[in-house]
Amino acid sequence: MRVPFDYHIHTSFSRDADATMETMCRAAMEAGIPEIGFSDHLDMVPEDPCSSYFKADAWWHAFEHCRDAFRGSLTLRAGVEVGEPHLFPTHVERLLVSYPWDYCMGSLHWVGDRRIFDPAYFERPAEEAYGAYFEELTRMVRVGIFDILGHMDIAKRYGYDAYGSYDPATYESQIRRVLREAASRDLVIEVNTATLRRSVQQTTPDRKVLCWFRQEGGRWVTLGSDAHTPEQVGHGLDQALRDAIQAGFHHLARFEGRRPFKWSVAGGGSTT
């Protein structure tokens, strides 16, 4: 089954990526993906390496140029990945009303004063590290302003290296609390494949967690490769699509104007 879209692509407007929007568009076309969404980092924690890097006006100028250049060949969606949206509600709300975004992705990279990509975060028992992460994630999902919950258990990216294994069942009650909050707000959960490029070798989240999301009333999932280089565009999304289907999701969420639309897995098309 052909991958319908990739909604998590970074460009040189993110500090941790170098490729231009045009380069990522060509990579998507080579991969046979008909629709992509750019979601460069907006990080506001002062200690974050990406803090203050994102420039919205310049981003939009480049995006509109790129959208015109690829019109008829590739559908482009305007997204932004906001770190810790629950901590900066005024800033996020101002950004979202200032430009015609198609979606806002909320992600958790910091728990208190610790960044989860820092190996030092995991210098404690696994139950403490993951427990603190899921507790903060619950707070973010409960009040944060965003449409898509990005890579919801991304802490396992380096947690796996620290502890040697990761089984979401160990943290089921805490994860279900996150999923319940997401379902109650009708949020979309991203099936992110960046962790397939890491030693943990799981999508984020994996099929088991997607099944729990369905059980908790979740209606929407979408797909993202979290690509930071052209070679990563679309990577592993065929597996993510299979996981979503096997978890019972018969539709994926496409976005336009911050509204989700159903993309039928069976029919390969969109409905409202």
Instruction: With cut-offs at 50, 70 and 90, classify the pLDDT of residue 233.
Output: very high
Kindly state the average pLDDT of the residues 46-61: 96
Q: Which residue is listed with tokens 């568009």?
A: 25
* pLDDT over threshold 80, residue 227: yes
Kindly state the average pLDDT of the residues 20-34: 98
- Given a contact cutoff of 8 angstroms between Cβ atoms, the answer to whether 244 and 201 are in contact is no
Domain ranges of the chain: 6-271
pLDDT confidence of residue 266: 75
Token pair belonging to 2: 């052909």
* pLDDT over threshold 70, residue 269: no
pLDDT confidence of residue 2: 84
Can you name the CATH fold of 6-271? TIM Barrel (3.20.20)
**Residue in 104, 163, 91 with CA at minimum distance from that of residue 133:** 163
The more confidently predicted of residues 264 and 137 is 137
Instruction: With cut-offs at 50, 70 and 90, classify the pLDDT of residue 268.
Output: low
Token pair belonging to 64: 């509109």
* pLDDT over threshold 90, residue 258: yes
DSSP state letters, 232-245: GTTTTHHHHHHHHH
Q: What percent of the chain has pLDDT over 90?
A: 95
pLDDT confidence of residue 157: 94
Vertex 139, ends 13 and 257: CA angle to 5°?
Answer: 45
Predicted model pTM: 0.96
Question: For residue range 88-124, what is the model confidence (pLDDT) as tens digits?
Answer: 999 999 999 999 999 999 999 999 999 999 999 999 9
Handedness of CA 11, 16, 19, 25 (dihedral sign): negative
* pLDDT over threshold 70, residue 30: yes
Instruction: With cut-offs at 50, 70 and 90, classify the pLDDT of residue 9.
Output: very high
Kindly state the average pLDDT of the residues 207-232: 98
pLDDT confidence of residue 265: 85
Question: What is the overall mean pLDDT for the chain?
Answer: 96
* pLDDT over threshold 60, residue 271: no
pLDDT confidence of residue 270: 64
Chain length of the chain: 272
